Amino acid sequence: MDCSKVRELSVDLQRGTLAAEPDGEARAHLLTCAACRAHAEAERALSDALEAKLPRFAAPIGLQRRLAAGWPASGSTARAPRRLWTRGRGIAAAAALSTALAVVVGGTTAVVVQDHADARRVTEEAVNDHLRMLGGAPLAQVTGGLHEVKPWFGGKLDFAPTVGFAGNSDFPLQGGAVEPFLDRRAAVFVYKRRLHTASLFVVPADGLTFPATVRAQTIHGFSLALWRSGEQGYALVSDLSLPELLDLQKLIASP
């Protein structure tokens, strides 16, 4: 098997989907060809990067509500639909996901209870909002640090965000913003770490599911930490590794 054929089969080889004979021939070639080994390793690195780091967008909660409201119940006959789903219409008729959402999958009905649905929408909102920040949402200038950012929030928010970490050489503070977060406004603090961006969203926690102690997870390739302190909920999102994100979280949460 020559180099061009081995490279053509590289992804299939990586995924183990080749038949025994070509699989064996390709592996034998890789043992003797450094250039093809480098190619195969680059292919594997690309697969890993795409799977772990490429943002995956979850359907916004409002869209899910509109779809659920216009969709027939399982067991009923599909019929030609009316166009009920244009944004802004039919929302009043939508069953609120915050109370309970009946999801019909494969003939069984699972009820996603309130806490689960709330936690999911907070995590997905945080990741979606972080992507919006990466997409170029405007930031307030903060050459003077936190004491310039906090007054900037005055008049834009109906609460005073409690954040004491003004950034340091490892995690410099880049700026602040006010962005929608579900049904309320969030104070956003943006920190950097090398080429990475971390967005901290601070909102009044009332009515949302923020854990009393820090809960960290990865979602759609992003690291996320959620916690609650007093009356405020905190969501910290970045493509930093989870340990590095938690380093930043400790700095932010320390009194």
49 binds other proteins (CB under 8 A): yes
Indicate whether 85 belongs to the interface with other proteins (CB under 8 A): yes
Cβ neighbours around 199 below 10 Å, total: 26
Choose the stretch contacting other proteins; rule: CB under 8 A; options: 19-27, 64-72, 144-152, 208-216: 64-72
CA-based nearest residue to 125, from 237, 50, 253, 229 = 237
Q: How far is the CB of 84 from other proteins (least distance, A)?
A: 9
> Which residue in 43, 148, 179, 247 binds other proteins (CB under 8 A)?
43
Q: Is 71 near other proteins (CB under 8 A)?
A: yes
> Are the C-beta atoms of 201 and 127 separated by less than 8 Å?
no
Residue whose CB is less far from other proteins, 46 or 160:
46
Residue pair 189/163 in contact by the 8 Å Cβ criterion: yes
Q: Of the listed pieces 181-189, 190-198, 208-216, 241-249, which binds other proteins according to CB under 8 A?
A: 190-198
Stretch that binds other proteins, among 36-44, 111-119, 161-169, 203-211 (CB under 8 A): 36-44
Give, as one character, the DSSP assignment of residue 154: B
In angstroms, give the least distance from the CB of 216 to other proteins: 17
Identify the residue whose tokens are 């916690």. 227
Pick one of 20, 83, 169, 254: the residue that binds other proteins (CB under 8 A): 83
Q: Which stretch binds other proteins (CB under 8 A): 163-171, 179-187, 193-201, 242-250?
A: 193-201
Strands (E), the chain: 101-105, 108-112, 173-181, 184-193, 196-204, 215-219, 222-229, 232-238
Q: Does 183 bind other proteins (CB under 8 A)?
A: no
- Among residues 49, 216, 1, the alpha carbon closest in space to that of 123 is found at 216
53-71 as b/e: b if 16+ CB within 10 A = eeeeebeebeebbbeebbe
Task: By CB under 8 A, name the binding residues for other proteins.
Answer: 7-8, 11, 34-35, 38-39, 41-46, 48-51, 53-60, 63-64, 66-68, 70-81, 83, 85-87, 103-107, 134, 195-197, 221-222, 239
